[in-house]
Amino acid sequence: MARPRFDDIFMNLAVDLAKRSHCIKAQVGAVLARDTRIISIGYNGPPAGTHNCDEEFPGVGCPRDSKGSCSLALHAEQNAILYAAKNGAAIEGATIYVTLSPCIACARIIYSMKIARVVYLNSYAAYKGIGVDEGVEFLRRFGVTVERYAAADQPALAEEGNPGQPDVVRQGA
């Protein structure tokens, strides 16, 4: 049995964390790590102590903003970054693993916190039905490494220009 890569371990954890979300529309998980150590974790949902969408708004979910997004929740990346910052963890140079590529707002936060690498599982653009992963493009434009996750036993994806596919996928032992 081959030893799993840390990319696999951290992405599997992000997938499991997404299951903790109370969001009716989408469940997203994130792991903030440096080298082989976890700095922080997060999943999407409203700020702690406010409410749970699936309980307060069963069947329909919470109110939506003008873009159709949840008006009450924090994104998984935001929760992971905020928790790390709140506890004084060093974030600069870290990698964030997320089950959905960052939206443009999260991309701005990731860049501002000097996170060096983003590994994502699914495309935000495909999820939202838009043509471009704006967050991914933003991060790449400003020098952040962004990769679409591929498990060690999956072929690498590499269709440049396709928003549902990565430009770079890291494969390794």
Instruction: Tell me if 14 sits within 8 A of 30, measured CB to CB.
Output: yes
| Three-class DSSP category at 148 | strand
In contact, 97 and 15? CB cutoff 8 Å = no
DSSP state of 37: E
Q: What are phi and psi of 147, to 5 degrees?
A: -130, 140
134 labelled catalytic: no
Torsion, CA 132, CA 133, CA 134, CA 138, rounded to 10: -120
CA–CA gap between residue 77 and residue 68 (Å, rounded): 19
77, 134, 159, 160: the active-site residue: 77
CA distance linking residue 120 with residue 166, whole number of Å: 9
- The tokens for 141 are 């434009």
Give bridge partners of residue 29 from the DSSP assignment. 43
Catalytic residue set: 77
